[in-house]
Amino acid sequence: MNISRERKGAWMDVFPMSHGKNLLFDVEFVPTGENIKLNPKLAEHVEKSWVPKAESGWVSSWIPFIREISYKNEPNEIGDLMTFNSPSAIVELGSMKYKEIDGINDAIENGLEFAPQQGFNPSLSVGYVTATRDGKVLFQRRAPDVHCPNVLHHEPTGYMTSLAFAPRTECDNPKYAQDERLFDVELQLGAKTRELAETFGIPPESIHYQLMPDFLGNGHNSIEFFFSSTGKTDYSEAELRESLNDRIKKLRKEGNERQAKRLENTEFLFVPFEKLGKLIMNQGRLCKINPVGYRPAKPEEMPLIDESLLGLIYGYADLTGESPDIDETIARLNHEGTDIKVYNSSRGQRYNLPRQL
């Protein structure tokens, strides 16, 4: 089945890799050796829009893209748990350049006639929704000059990228396009963990995460594919904020004012577990609000990026120990204004994404 449908409003696609606390898939990520192909006008736009960025020092690393998602085996019930014959889901991956992602996103966001009609590019990000020791979930509001600004985004998250293992000066080398490390989920999540630890000035060993994703998805905010799982840190909110302040002071002492200001101007929000239910259910209404300049006093009134909303829905049980009905939650959100489509994950289902955009 090819993924292609008209995109309107707050749409999101979800390919389940789990279904709550007692339903776990075994997921295999398989490289295909393919590189993305672009239509001539889109390829020309990519090159033209990249020139000023390359001149200002941007680099174009390699990023995986999703080619196909297929489900192989039905679950087997053992006691209270659902287990699967291995593997139960296979995700086939190709490679694309970051500059291609940048140009494709620009074409989609500006409604250019040669932009991909499915409304997204299939590049893949990874991450996990992180809970603190005192029962709060960590969010960050990104700056206005970055992709997906002004909405709350869970951390850590980001592209699977050759920057995770190759020097910045050569991360765009063609030899890394099919490097096995590019498709190594554990290696890529490890890199994201180190980035989060560095941000707050804490040991990477104090952050723990689930390796396998709860779901694969994309949506109207991110217009890219992402997988998400859950994680926890040994630190409380107060300890993380204190450690962050200490790191800012240290950077200033070392003369790194630019990095100190970047961290100082980054907005972090810690939402208590007891507020998550309201935060999730409010998104049906909040998805219609322009988040630029929108700063409500209550955390449960904050608009979430699609990736974070789905991450909370599918990771809620693991984060909090409670197990709400995922299907009911999505149905209620759709009634309020979202357009979340959950794809059939039963045996034999196969979903093809475009090789050429």
Report residues of the chain scoring pLDDT below 70.
1-7, 18-25, 73-87, 142-150
pLDDT for residue 8 = 75
Residue 3, Ramachandran bin (φ over 0: left; ψ between -120 and 50: alpha; else beta): beta
| 179: Cβ contacts below 8 Å, ≥ 6 apart | 62, 162, 165, 166
Do you know the residue count of the chain? 357
Residue 96's CB is within 10 A of a number of other CB atoms, namely: 24
What is the rounded CA–CA span in Å between residue 106 and residue 95? Answer: 19
What is the rounded CA–CA span in Å between residue 55 and residue 261? Answer: 24
pLDDT for residue 47 = 97
Q: What is the pTM of this model?
A: 0.92
What is the rounded CA–CA span in Å between residue 234 and residue 96? Answer: 36
In sign, the C-alpha dihedral spanning 303, 304, 309, 312 is negative
What is the rounded CA–CA span in Å between residue 201 and residue 250? Answer: 10
C-alpha to C-alpha distances, 345 to 30, 71, 73, 220, 341, nearest whole angstrom? 18, 6, 10, 22, 12
Q: b vs e for 261-288, b when ≥16 Cβ sit within 10 Å of the residue's Cβ?
A: eebeeeebebbebebbbebbbbbbebbe
pLDDT for residue 56 = 94
Question: Longest C-alpha distance within the chain, in Å?
Answer: 60
- Which tokens in the block code for residue 101? 């992602």
pLDDT for residue 323 = 84
CB-side exposure of 93: number of CA atoms within 13 Å?
29
By DSSP bridging, strand 121-131 and strand 157-159 are antiparallel
pLDDT for residue 294 = 83
